[in-house]
Amino acid sequence: MAKIRKFKHVKLLMAVLIIYVAVLNMPNLLKLLYPIEHKEIIIKYGQKHKIDPLLLAALIKTESNFEPRAESRKGAKGLMQITPATGEWIAKTIGINDFYEDMLFDPETNIMLGSWYIEHLTDYYKGSFELVFAAYNGGRGNVDKWLKDKNLSSDGMTLDTIPFSETRNYLEKLKKNYSIYKRIY
């Protein structure tokens, strides 16, 4: 009986020790789950386009989980999941004349284009986080239409409701990821 009691105490002590070590290493464990790959590129274009690099990292985590060759079922490509049409429009707007679709798989090009687009949306929507990222996910045309709909926007400047569940869920996931990135970095 004494051996059984002693064994239970050892198991309890081991469990406490494992929990203690896990808590001490929590930031390192979280960094494995929430990495910042391509950090120099993220910082470079975050600074250039006045975007918190941790927000860019959270966006990339949300969009592609840092997979440069990610491709959505709607054809969005790369780290920041830019559609070829949007990529081509951004490229023309910023003076890249030799744009081709596979450039979206290049991390630097993708982050450069995506960061420019976020700055563009931020200027367009006067800094509203919700509108910027609802437009990034659901399309600027849709957000503009929602803002004109009294059932979705009582003041024409903020959204009371987002009719696309995908966009609603995306905003929540992005906010959660951004909060985690700010906490661990």
Catalytic residues: 63
Cβ atoms of 174 and 166 closer than 8 Å:
no
Whole-Å CA distances, 155 to 76, 130, 151: 32, 15, 10
C-alpha dihedral sign at 166, 121, 160, 55 = positive
C-alpha dihedral sign at 133, 62, 119, 81 = negative
Cβ atoms of 177 and 66 closer than 8 Å:
no
Please list the helix, strand and coil fractions of the chain in percent, rounded to the nearest 5, in that order. 70, 0, 30
- Output b/e per residue, 118-154; b: 16+ Cβ within 10 A: bbbbbeebeebeebbbbbbbbebebbeebbeeeebbe
**What is the spatial distance between Cα 85 and Cα 149, in angstroms, rounded to a whole number?**
27
